[in-house]
Amino acid sequence: MTGPALQYKAVKRPVSGVLLLDKPAGISSNSALQKAKRLYQAAKAGHTGNLDPFATGLLPVCLGEATKFSQFLLDADKTYQGWVRLGQTTTTGDPEGEVLSRSPVDVGLAQVEQVLSRFVGRISQVPPMYSALKRDGKPLYEYARQGVEVEREAREVTIYDLRLDRFAGEEVVITVRCSKGTYIRTLAEDIGKALGCGAYLEALRRTAIGGFAIGDAKTLEQLDGVSLEERDAWLLPADSLLQGFPQVELDADSAFYLGRGQEVWLPRTAVDGVVRLYDDKRRFLGIGEVTGEGKIAPRRLVVFPSV
């Protein structure tokens, strides 16, 4: 390519790591991801857990080799702060939908606290029509936009903690720590039903995923306001996604053969299942799985940039 068009061609870098991004309201998770990817000039990027456009908060973005391990964060527990508007319901269960109903709100603090306590533990949720779950290869929200209601099976999720932060007339602010697959919109609607006045989720902010917290996240504005070197310094290593797995250090020979896709003997250590692997220089190699023969089989390995 020659001429003026050449100057617009983005230079891609083999940068790897995990960016803790504070997603703003008003854009999709994919739009936020693409903005971060451009700022890092990254060749490859992906996020670990979608946030609706109206929602804000923690969106871990994986760059380069870290994308190989992003699925392990998808299964992690999450924490949200939600603003629940009582007395109204909407077509989507959030502020982006049309108002379906209005009801008077005549509830007190004790009643709100009692209702919230019912939702702690294992609960059953019916996924909302306005969700990315697929039926026959088509997202449910596409059916919903066409006015088609699709039957959905209830799913069990776990609410580990549900705290009332504030109750002020028609607004209830809650903090929820929950398992993967939990819909806070559905939780808000179910709280409204239990209170007898209806409700929808007015605002949502994700504050934690696994061991990651919103206090360590950066905004797009912060990223845009610093140099590329400073942005790189904000990246966490790829193995930060795998802190819940035991680690195994391999000697130089074992690391060499593992890197060529071969099983290697497990060092004398009591571990089982999926493990994080490091070489004798403490470089993260990827993940492996302990076999019944006392070996480690490579599962996903890091590709180091050529020097």
pLDDT of the residue at 234: 98
Considering the domain architecture, whether residues 253 and 134 belong to the same structural domain is answered as: no
Residue 69: domain span: 13-75+212-240
Please indicate, yes or no, whether residues 89 and 151 belong to a single structural domain of this protein.
yes
| Res. 4: pLDDT tops 50 | no
pLDDT at 9: 53
Residue 5 has pLDDT above 60, yes or no: no
Angle between helices 184-195 and 109-117 (to 10 degrees): 130
Domain assignment present for 7: no
pTM exceeds 0.75 for this model:
yes
> The domain spanning residue 255 has which CATH number?
2.30.130.10
75 is catalytic: no
pLDDT of residue 11: 75
pLDDT at residue 132, rounded to an integer? 65
Tell me, yes or no, whether 217 and 68 share the same domain: yes
Question: Quick one: 29 and 101 in the same domain?
Answer: no
Mean pLDDT check: name the lowest of 48-52, 105-109, 132-136, 277-281. 132-136
Residue 21 lies in a domain: yes
Min mean pLDDT across 31-40, 81-90, 141-150, 223-232 is at 141-150
Instruction: Tell me the pLDDT tens digit for each residue of 213-233.
Output: 999 999 999 999 999 999 999
Q: Is residue 3 part of a domain?
A: no
43: in domain: yes
Whether 89 is covered by a domain: the verdict is yes
- In this predicted structure, the answer to whether residue 12 has a pLDDT above a threshold of 90 is no
Catalytic option among 22, 52, 94, 239: 52
Q: Specify the pLDDT at position 150.
A: 74
pLDDT for residue 197 is more than 60: yes
127 versus 37: which is more confidently predicted? Answer: 37
Residues 110 and 203 in one domain: yes
In the predicted structure, residue 100 carries a pLDDT above the cut 60: yes
- Look at residue 306 in the predicted model and tell me its pLDDT: 65
The answer to the question of residue 25 being in a domain is: yes
Higher-confidence residue of 43 and 3: namely 43
1 is a domain residue = no
More confident residue, 270 or 167: 167
In this structure, the answer to whether residues 60 and 167 fall within a common structural domain is: no
pLDDT of residue 10: 60
pLDDT digits (tens, 9 = 90+) for 131-176: 667 676 677 677 767 676 777 788 999 999 999 999 998 999 999 9
pLDDT at residue number 50: 87
Shared domain check, 229 and 142: no
> Do 88 and 174 lie in a common domain?
yes
User: Looking at residue 145, which CATH number applies to its domain?
Assistant: 3.30.2350.10
State percent of the chain over pLDDT 70.
92
The number of distinct structural domains making up the chain is 3
Task: Judge if 43 and 140 occupy the same domain.
Answer: no
Q: Are residues 167 and 99 in the same domain?
A: yes
Task: Quickly state the pLDDT bin for 61 (edges 50, 70, 90).
Answer: very high
Q: Is the pLDDT of residue 8 over 60?
A: no
Residue 103 sits in the same domain as residue 168? yes
User: Based on the domain organization, do 94 and 144 belong to the same domain?
Assistant: yes
On whether residue 5 sits in a domain, the answer given is no
pLDDT average, residue stretch 231-238: 97
